[in-house]
Amino acid sequence: MKSLKFIFVFLAPFVLLACSGKGEEKIQELITDLKLPVKADIVGAIGEGTSMNMLELVDANGDTMTLETDNGRFFGDKDVGDSVIVSYITIDGELISSTVVNMKNLIHTWAMEPEVGTKTKYMEIDPKGFVHIFVDKIENLKYEKWVMNDGMLILMPPEDSLKTVQPDTMEILSLNADTMKVRKAGDNITLWRYN
C-alpha cells in the first residue's frame, strides 16, 4: 500500500508535465527510464473467483488472471460472466486494478434529464464502439466512436474532423443499471437509462 501511495505522489510532477503541453512521449520516456508501473487495459468477463477485494478476469481465450481491487474503482455490477474493461498496473508482480467498468451497465442509451422548455438530449453507446448523440431525435454527427481510458468515457469525432472537433471526455463517477453520473468540464451530470 505504501509503495502504491509513493508511486502516485511520485507521478504527480509527470501529470503536471503532461498538462503543461510537454507531450505524452516525454512522460512515457521518463516512466520507462524510472521503470515505473505502466497502466494497461484489458477486456474480459468476471469470473467465479471474484470476491469483495479480488477480481477474477477471464479473457477471450479462457485464461484467467486475478487482480486486487482494494484501492480501485468498480463501476457497475459484479455479476459473474459480465464483460468488463479493466485498467490496471503491476507492482511487485501483483496486478492491481485502478478502474473496472461493467459493459452490461454502460452499453445503453442514456438521457439527460431535460429542464422545462429545453431539448431532450441522449446518447446511445453501442457494443461495437460507436456512439450516437441525439437532440430531440435528430442525430448530431459530431462524435462517432467511444473509448474507455481508466474510468474516462471519451467520445471521439470522425477522423476527418479531428483537426476541428476535440474529443469529449467524461469521468465516470458512478454507474448502475438505471443511472450514470459523470463529471464533464467540472460539472457533475446525471444520465438516466433511456432503454
Q: Which of 74, 104, 134 represents a domain boundary (last residue)? A: 104
pLDDT at 14: 40
Read off the CATH number of the domain in which 99 is found.
2.40.50.320
Same domain, 10 and 69: no
Residues 128 and 182 in one domain: yes
Average pLDDT of the chain to the nearest whole number = 80
Q: How far is CA 49 from the centre of its chain?
A: 23
Note whether 122 and 113 are within 8 A (CB).
no
Residue 111 CA, distance from chain mean position: 19
Given a contact cutoff of 8 angstroms between Cβ atoms, the answer to whether 131 and 169 are in contact is no
Query: What CATH number does residue 123 fall under?
Result: 2.40.128.370
Asked whether the beta carbons of 68 and 97 are under 8 A apart, the reply is yes
**Per-residue pLDDT reduced to its tens digit, 62-110:** 999 999 987 789 999 999 999 999 999 888 888 889 899 999 999 999 9
Total structural domains in the chain? 3
Q: What angle do CA 175, 15, 157 make, to 5 degrees?
A: 55
The residue ranking higher by pLDDT, 176 or 30, is 176
At residue 33's C-alpha, the angle toward residues 42 and 68, to 5°, is 35
Higher confidence at residue 145 or residue 90? 145
Largest CA distance in the chain: 56
Instruction: Kindly report, residue by residue over 27-69, the tens digit of the pLDDT.
Output: 455 445 545 455 778 899 999 999 888 999 999 899 999 999 8
Distance CA 81, CA 59 (A): 11
